Amino acid sequence: MSFAWRQLQSAIRALAGTGDRRDRLHAALGKLIKLKARDLPSEVANDFNALTEGIARFPVKNIPHEIRSEIDRLNDAEVMESIRKIMRMYDAVAAYQPRPVKHSGGMRSRAAPAPSWPVPALHILETRQGAFFHETA
């Protein structure tokens, strides 16, 4: 599940980036299209299938256009629901990730304490975008 974890982290970073929601969703789906439902926990496999069912994966050069045309068909509420599905997938996969190991001894960092692990997707998006679900599209 580490490949899925890396792809979902990239997708969340894309969602937290700049641009309008549709552009950010396009970038996020571009990261996730490499996954298969079996790469994800069963509780979110249906979310993944719903997000990617209309996107043809071959030939590979057409994937960005396929993603764009799928997003263009969505209304604003469906765009937000797609983003929520990606957040659910991220949070579900995050729950299976090992916790960071705290090493005793050595130099203490003066940096702020690390956030709880794993950091929920909504926290990441709101930290980078402000009130993510309250902005205008």
Read off the pLDDT of residues 98-121 as tens digits, 9 standing for 90 and up. Answer: 877 666 655 554 444 444 556 777
Mean pLDDT (the chain) is 84
Does some domain include residue 22?
A: yes
Does some domain include residue 106?
A: no
Does some domain include residue 90?
A: yes
pTM: 0.77
| DSSP for 112-133, written as a single string | PPPPPSSPPHHHHHHHHHSSGG
Does some domain include residue 107?
A: no
Does some domain include residue 18?
A: yes
> Cis before residue 100, ω within 30 degrees of 0?
no
Q: How confident is the model at residue 133 (pLDDT cuts 50, 70, 90)?
A: low
Looking at the 3D structure of the chain, how many domains does it have?
Answer: 1
Cα 11 to Cα 103, 107, 108, distances in angstroms = 30, 34, 32
Q: Which amino acid is at 118?
A: P
pLDDT surpassing 50 at residue 41? yes
Per-residue model confidence (pLDDT) at position 114: 47
Which structural domain range is residue 77 located in? 2-100+112-134
Give one word for 11, left, alpha or beta, with left for phi > 0 and alpha for psi -120 to 50.
alpha
Does some domain include residue 118?
A: yes
Does some domain include residue 105?
A: no
